[in-house]
Structure 1
């Protein structure tokens, strides 16, 4: 059943088309009639003027012999009277001699008098070829023609004048146009009726088309529109049936694509779960990596694994091909690496074992390039081996330069029979404080600019690393990814991009607010993680971008969450300022003011106090920026004139003066966690004075 919006009348297309045809026909006929009428008026006017001219010439010819006699009026008077009787529409019939004296006139009383022409005469264009001394003149009431009277020697004897009133001309023309409105009305009525009947016949198929389209709208894509019509409506019915068939097919394909998309999303989630989700902190080393797949799933892989003795295993692999096939191979590498990483003494032996196993699995023509290294965080010594993988980029802090470490190994699985293992050898690299190691897949350096297809290249990677290395592993990772994206512009990535950054950070590079103690045991870290889990379960969260403008939301969050309820204005101001300083430290030193990053501020209320005191609780800050090595905090000596002159750098004093307890846990599995315990009763007690913990 056709659904029509209430209150909206349905207009019949038959009436619309017939009415439009009638209007257009009327306009066309009126236009043509107007043009023809003007043309007819012009033709009739020309004909009458020509007739007047001929009358004047005939009168001149008949009067020539009479003017040669002594008494011309005796011959001309009867002639002119007969002419006027025969043509009463002529208003002027006069014969003049050369002196302008009337020699012939229907009224004999005018003979012998001087002729007075009508006033305001103006020349009128001739409708016929003009002879010498002839003229056609007129004004608003009369049209007057003059013709010369000549003798046998073409000498002028006088002038013959014939005139006609313009009213007679208008009546003649109007008489011809009287029947036109009746004819036009009959013609238009017939045309409208014919148009309506024709449209009714032609538009009959619309009902069948409407019913078919309504069935499609209800989801019935299998019933075709049955319409045997040889007009465009028949073609439209065929198109509707074709559309319905294609929609039916597309519906099935859409369901299948949705199923495949769901499976690909599951595969993507599984692959992402195989990769490290957090940065790794081992001694002075920060290890951070990221993968950006060209498709839903990719053929790149990286991993960071703990080894006995506190050592760390680093792996980066690139499977030939991408998509689902590459994802399956990376899953195999994930499983094999976890099975072998603890049982092989050197990276070369582990890669040889992987080559032997992958050679049994991979089809010929498929291979894997792989970098594998073992890092000792205590000494900074890295033993590594590369199986045909990209060279390793090493940034040296002192002296500031970049090195490229290449190897002669060939890809895993490329050649059977153990030939790969004979090309693999271990190398040793010593990383000093401030040094950064970058390992990557070829999707990074081979990214092409869309304009000229120039690759990003190793030199540009050097420039990015040299500029960002001092800011730590996360900064190198982000700047390198952004630089590659800017180089590619709006183009889609042609290959997976994976980067692993190992940074040995110096104490000078990690200046953020210190913790209350020099370090934390695993028990303290576990307790901090439990407190963070409790915050996620029943706390209130504020997520902030890593820029200072975003921190302005702190005050609104504190007001709306009810944390400030019951506090004095001074205590509320100190709490807001302390939280701002703590978050600002993370934004400035942890993220280098990068709005693309974010941090979380949680509030977990403790037990309630008395009726006139609010509940105490804890604020927890979680971020994934650069961690730091905490040092003991020392209160600022405000009696020192240098401190008062400096006027800044007092953020830690504000935090310690407001909070009852402060703890910082860098590099946990949940990121860097800062815990700020707060007791509002101490805030009340401290109104008006500055406290130091």
Structure 2
């Protein structure tokens, strides 16, 4: 049997240069066409997958939008109509499930019982708080589908989900036809191309050499290298692929730089926030005071402060700046500066917040605003004077009645463009209360009530009220603080939180 070395020797010694080039280039053409075929099949698979996903996302969002009112009113008949019409009117739709927040099935094109618990196919993730989730899986019969999950919301509250199955058969059929066409084209190209290879060989080698230079330049970091593509054949396709690769590498590099920039910005924001948080708690005769601040994974805009108004009055402010990062931290710095300066002038909560709004409204970024709860405590009489500018209500526990009173006078947030300074002052309401011995006042941000567990349930105000409702009449603010933090830890089950957690608790002794 002849060996490879013998064949190579036969070619080198008995075949002319033209035959050698014809043979080797024919072999090369076969390999090159195979690579091009694989490239285009992968590319077509990606494009078709994207098209099917986009079409499925559009259908799923439409079903979710149409299902808002029926699911909210528990109209299973109308929901079933939506599900079956969706499958009937779209050939590529394999199934459509409409489920509520507790994973009960309200409508399905499959054989499920009404309100049966929906079980995700093996290997698929839960939608959780994502706006949309597209995953691929195989059904029992081996059919490959995209499972597209979209939340059903009413006023931003998730009440259920739509699961839509889109068949991938179209991808297989298209790739099959493409492979057949590429195979035919390969045979024709090789058969006709061998005759003209010697004429074109120098041109081809020159083109390959240019592409090689471009690839080496890209590998050395020249991502802005100008790659000119003039040819329409396989070499031209390879050149275009190299050009696309360079563009994608450059985009990836830019995204990496942007991520590093954002990471640095978040670090700066955290440092600014740490300088704004009070470093100590004031010692006020007749009052117990404690506070807590914990930043989220992404730096938010929570802020709290103690303000020494005069010898008989002290102020407490808790605020939340919309947005994240350095911008919100800088706005917090402005708020802190204005609040402290105006408080020293003896301004009432109403006057102070009105002045703060006037000074901030033209200087903060568009779309950003601040919610604030500000209270001034008279240490002699126990009278508290307070305003709430679009913030969470303060909670006042009355020890004598063993009940909680919600303090939320009307008032818009600071910095809202459509509300001028005069209108803000008119709409902001100031109220007064007198706190007695044993009463507890708590100011907080929505990071507590909106803390989420792994089942996407919120901690809520009711749980917070239960914690503040003292089990023992002599429990101090530090005990309340520990109970609240322990309850939050137990409830969230280690789930990462997207908002800061801030609160201040005071108790009259």
TM-score (norm 2): 0.49
Structure possessing the higher relative contact order (Cα contacts under 8 Å, 6 or more residues apart): 2
Work out which of the two has the higher radius of gyration on C-alpha atoms and give 1 or 2.
Answer: 1
